[in-house]
Structure formats: C-alpha cells, structure tokens
Chain A
C-alpha cells in the first residue's frame, strides 16, 4: 500500500539526511524503523506525509506518487495518514475533546471549525476513540494537565479520528517511563490488530522492537542497511546498525 522508491532528502543547510531509501509497506504491517540518532528516521516519516518535501525519489501511497502534490490534494493525502510524535504535540490549553476533534479538521469547513461548530456525529466518534484509548471521563480536562502517557493516548485518539490508512509514530515512547511505554505500545498494537491500521513506528529500544514489530528496517547515515524480521537482528547486525561500541539495554 506504500512504496518508497530511492528517496533522497537534502536539507537547506546541506545535510544529506536520506540517501536513496527504498522499501515497501504492506497493508496491516507493524513496521518499525530503527537506527542511531541522526540516521534519518524522523526525516523519513516526515517525507511520507510531506511535513518535509523529499528532494527526489517517489512515495507511492494507494497507487499515487504523492511527492509532488500540492494544496488540497496533499491535504487529502495527509488526512489519510495519522501521525503521533515523541513530545505528543497536543494543542495546549485546549480540552481532550477538542484535541481529539482536531483530527477531523480536514473534513470540517474552516469557518465551522473556527467557531467550534463540530458535527454531532464527530463528537460522538471522538468520545468513542477517547474510550478506546482508556481516557473515558477525561473529555473536558485540559490536555496539558494530563500525564505523558495519557497525552500520548490523546494523540493516538486524534490520529484515529482521521480514520487513517497508515499511522506514523515518531519515537512515540521516547519521553515515557518503561511501564507507560508498554501501555502506549499496547494501544498502538491494538490499533494495528483490531482496527487494521498499518503502523510505521520509529523506536530506540530493541526489546520493544522484538515485542511489537512485524517487520524491521534499519537506517544508518541516511541509507537503508537492514530489512527483515525483528528476531533476526543478531549480535552482528546489532553492531552493524548501532556501531561496534554499542551494548544493548533492555526495557521491560
């Protein structure tokens, strides 16, 4: 459903962050992207939903190359791809409900959304997603008053509100403690298995990768150097991906 072909990204300051990355993502996969800090993981995800514009190469999403789309057409693509972030990126000083509803902005008219006139059915849907991520009863609490794990779950609900085909997750648990990390990963797994949403997720901890990924790709210096099953990442591969000095830390 998603084909990335020879993707290159050179930032304005000359950093060559992606040097010709190609891979496929199939419907229903839980694909995890690993690699050292600075290897280009975030850049890759942001090129897929065009928060960044790739320098060259193609991203075929549902049969259409989206790298050159503009205006309403790229917005329509984005609306079908959800995204969650390391720092949650919720709207501060707004309620959980408003934050979740903001996931349906692309299909709400500008004027209505600004006036806060959300369609009744969207409100009902938002409440259902808030239930799904286990935040029942917290609809009217300010989002920035929640704990980190709860905020990330609001972010998941916001992404679900888009009815996405793919969910991009950029280090979704990197600022959470181990227990909370697992709970958030469980929700992502649930979204993947029960709602059938394809997930592409950047992760740092291999123990999480082994537990949740159905397939893994590894980036190093902007190049794709590994593609395979999570359990096939042995000692040697680990050292290739993370460098000779690296020692694996686990999180339980």
Chain B
C-alpha cells in the first residue's frame, strides 16, 4: 500500500517533465533504429554480403531508413525493447532481475556489436595486407634505416627543434594575457550578477567553445594561407588554440574559488577591479601558472604536428625528408623530437609539482 503511493503521485504530477522524457525517449529510439537499419543495409548487406565496392548512394536511402526506424520505434516503444525509455527512467524495473537480462540491454549490446563489425569493415582491417611479403620488406627497410640515423643533419635538426620550442613558447606567452582576461568573462560566478554580465558570459563561452573545437592543425592550414607557410602561421594557430583552452581552464579555476575573500573585499567598499585583484587573483595564481606551463608543454608537441602542414620548425623538416623517402634523416628527426618531448614533459611535471 504505502509502496504504491509515490508511483500514484508520480502519475498525478505527470506534466512537462514527463512529456519531455517521453519525447526524448522517442527521439533516441528513432535515431537508434534508423542507425541500425542503415548499417544493416549499407554495410552488412551491400558491402559485406553482396561485396559491392562502390554501392550507389541516394538520399532516399537514409530517408527510407528514417521511416523504417520510426515505424520500428512505434511498434516497440511500449515493449521492453525501448532503450530511450530505459535511459529516461520510464520503466518500472523489477529490482531482483539483473539489468543485464533486460531486453533493452541486450538490444544495446547488439547495437554495439553491429557497430564493431561495421567499424572493422570501414577501417579496412586486413591481416593479409599487414603480413604480405612486399609490405614486410618495405617496413623492414624503413625500420633499419630509422635505426641508422643520419647524424650529418643533427645541427639543422637541433636548430629546427629550437625553432619549434620558441614557437610554442611565444604562442603560449602571447595567448596568456588574452586568456587571462577572457577567463574572468567566462566565469559564471563573476558574471551572473547582472543580465549584461550573463550575456557576455554566454557570448564568450560560445566563442571559446567554437575556437577550441577547431583543431590547431586546421588553424595552421588557415593561417598558412593567410600569412604564408612558416613558423608565424604555426605560432598563430597555437596561439588561438591556447587562448581558448587556457581561458576555459582559467574560468573553471575561478568558478572553484572560495567566495569568502571576495565577499570580504566587497564589504570594504572596494572597486570591482580591486575585488578581483585582491579577492580572486591570489586564489588563482598558482593553478594558473601550473596550467600555463602544461600548455607550453602541449604546445611543443602540437608545434611538431603543425610543422607537418607547413607550420615551420622540426615538423616541417620531418615532412620534407619523409617526402623524399630519406629514412635515415627521418630516423634522426624522430629521435630529436622524442628527446625534446621527453625533456619538456619531465621538466613541466617537475615544475608543476614544485609550485603546488
């Protein structure tokens, strides 16, 4: 009797919240069934069973899949096969029965399995090619060359490595003041005082997320068209990405600080800028320093990758020798890169430990 009461109350209050859950559940189910139909037809049937290399694609196919998915969803929504209802907590589950035995769990496992099979196929995994005679000889040739690095180019390689480190350093340093300022504007606890503040918060957050979601590699390509191939383009790419990553980390740090000192400084009648300088900054300098050093470390690694698309430094050098198939030179460069990365990694973790 008493155990039933909450359920009854739930039914009574079935309002907006419940509606939203049902809609979300329906959408999720439709998506999953559409996905299953599409994978079954395009990959399992056409590619694997019929063995077609380039099956036709028309936009009718996904639309048909959507319709099929929708129909299956409607047919199965009120059975125990609805993953959507399970994730939205709309089932009254028997607590004694293991969740692993529920139909929707089994269905979920089947979808993961299907994705795995399709994934194997799409990545063109082929044991035969991996172990083929010509392939293995080629690999052996490269490996032996790599293990006989050409020390003759050590000097230019080191110069290029220094260029990369400096590029990463400048990118981090130039990003710092921007990230520092933006960090405050992206911290919710500082900005939610007024409507204008909140608006700025959302705009800044949006741009940070946008710039951060574009890989530095892509920024490097953009900037190498803009300012020409070279370290400057790489530096700009790293800087943009560092600004948004650091600003995000900084703002999270600000959101975690204790409110006490801020309150106390505000209560003295201090100007808002003074409140930030005396109430916020002392609480964040050390974590900031630690994040920034870590960022420099990351930037050195990224600078190498960016060099591959023409961002200058040791990455560019690596790309050039690789293009010429000069594997002994590539071997040396790989060693230099690995050492630089290792040293930076070690140094940055030591420094960060020391200032904790």
**Chain B residue with Cβ nearest A162:** B268
A192 interface hit (Cβ, 8 Å) = no
Residues of B within 8 A of A88 (CB): 260
Kindly provide the distance from the CB of A23 to the nearest chain B CB, expressed in whole angstroms: 21
B230 interface hit (Cβ, 8 Å) = no
Contact A79–B261 (Cβ < 8 Å): no
Contact A93–B282 (Cβ < 8 Å): yes
Task: Tell whether A114 pairs with B266 under 8 Å between CB atoms, given A89-B261, A91-B279.
Answer: no
Contact B265–A94 (Cβ < 8 Å): no
Contact B266–A85 (Cβ < 8 Å): no
A90 interface hit (Cβ, 8 Å) = yes
Pick from B263, B269, B277, B279: contact of A75, CB below 8 A: B269
Contact A92–B282 (Cβ < 8 Å): yes
- Residues facing A in B258-276 (CB within 8 A) are 260-261, 263-271, 273-274
B37 interface hit (Cβ, 8 Å) = no
A113 interface hit (Cβ, 8 Å) = yes
B283 interface hit (Cβ, 8 Å) = yes
Contact A91–B282 (Cβ < 8 Å): yes
- Residues facing A in B280-295 (CB within 8 A) are 282-283, 285
Contact B264–A89 (Cβ < 8 Å): yes
- Residues facing B in A38-92 (CB within 8 A) are 49, 51, 75-83, 85, 87-92
A179 interface hit (Cβ, 8 Å) = no
B278 interface hit (Cβ, 8 Å) = yes
Task: Tell whether A113 pairs with B267 under 8 Å between CB atoms, given A87-B260, A91-B282, A93-B282.
Answer: no
Residues of A within 8 A of B279 (CB): 91
A85 to B258, CA, bound (A): 13
- Residues facing A in B79-110 (CB within 8 A) are none
Kindly provide the distance from the CB of B333 to the nearest chain A CB, expressed in whole angstroms: 44
Residues of B within 8 A of A9 (CB): none
Contact A105–B283 (Cβ < 8 Å): no
Contact B282–A103 (Cβ < 8 Å): no
Pick from B268, B269, B283: contact of A158, CB below 8 A: B268
Contact B274–A114 (Cβ < 8 Å): yes
A102 interface hit (Cβ, 8 Å) = yes
A113 to B281, CA, bound (A): 13
- With an 8 Å Cβ cutoff, the count of chain B residues facing the other chain is 19
Contact with B along A158-175 (1 / 0, CB 8 A): 110010000010000000
Contact B268–A78 (Cβ < 8 Å): yes
Contact A49–B267 (Cβ < 8 Å): yes
**Chain B residue with Cβ nearest A102:** B278
Contact A76–B269 (Cβ < 8 Å): yes
Contact B264–A105 (Cβ < 8 Å): no
A51 to B275, CA, bound (A): 13
Kindly provide the distance from the CB of A47 to the nearest chain B CB, expressed in whole angstroms: 12
Most B-side CB within 10 Å, residue of A102, A110, A113: A102
A105 to B269, CA, bound (A): 7
Residues of B within 8 A of A89 (CB): 260-261, 263-264
Contact A75–B271 (Cβ < 8 Å): yes
Pick from A80, A87, A106, A155: contact of B270, CB below 8 A: A106
Task: Tell whether A83 pairs with B274 under 8 Å between CB atoms, given A78-B269, A92-B283, A106-B269.
Answer: no
Contact B282–A94 (Cβ < 8 Å): yes
Residues of B within 8 A of A77 (CB): 269
Contact B260–A105 (Cβ < 8 Å): no
Contact B282–A102 (Cβ < 8 Å): no
Kindly provide the distance from the CB of A148 to the nearest chain B CB, expressed in whole angstroms: 14
Pick from A87, A90, A94, A103: contact of B268, CB below 8 A: A103
A94 to B282, CA, bound (A): 8
Task: Tell whether A105 pairs with B274 under 8 Å between CB atoms, given A91-B282, A92-B283.
Answer: yes
Task: Tell whether A113 pairs with B274 under 8 Å between CB atoms, given A91-B279, A94-B282.
Answer: yes
**Chain B residue with Cβ nearest A93:** B282
**Chain A residue with Cβ nearest B274:** A105
A114 to B273, CA, bound (A): 9
Contact A79–B269 (Cβ < 8 Å): yes
**Chain B residue with Cβ nearest A111:** B273
Pick from B263, B268, B283: contact of A106, CB below 8 A: B268
Pick from A92, A94, A162: contact of B269, CB below 8 A: A162
A106 to B267, CA, bound (A): 10
Residues of B within 8 A of A114 (CB): 273-274, 277
Residues of A within 8 A of B267 (CB): 49, 51, 78, 81-83, 168
Contact with B along A100-125 (1 / 0, CB 8 A): 00111110001001100000000000
Most A-side CB within 10 Å, residue of B265, B274, B277, B279: B274
Residues of A within 8 A of B263 (CB): 51, 85, 89
**Chain A residue with Cβ nearest B271:** A110
Kindly provide the distance from the CB of B270 to the nearest chain A CB, expressed in whole angstroms: 4
A63 to B282, CA, bound (A): 37
**Chain A residue with Cβ nearest B257:** A92
- Please, could you name 27 A-B residue pairs with CB atoms under 8 Å apart, sorted by A? A51-B266, A75-B270, A75-B271, A76-B269, A78-B266, A79-B269, A85-B260, A89-B263, A91-B261, A91-B282, A93-B285, A94-B282, A102-B268, A102-B270, A102-B278, A103-B268, A104-B268, A106-B268, A106-B270, A106-B271, A110-B273, A113-B274, A113-B277, A113-B278, A114-B274, A114-B277, A162-B268
**Which positions in A face B, CB cutoff 8 Å?**
49, 51, 75-83, 85, 87-94, 102-106, 110, 113-114, 155, 158-159, 162, 168
Closest 3 CB pairs of A and B: A79-B269, A106-B269, A89-B260
Having A85-B264, A114-B277, one finds 9 other A-B pairs with CB under 8 Å, namely A76-B269, A81-B267, A83-B267, A91-B278, A105-B269, A105-B271, A105-B274, A105-B278, A110-B273
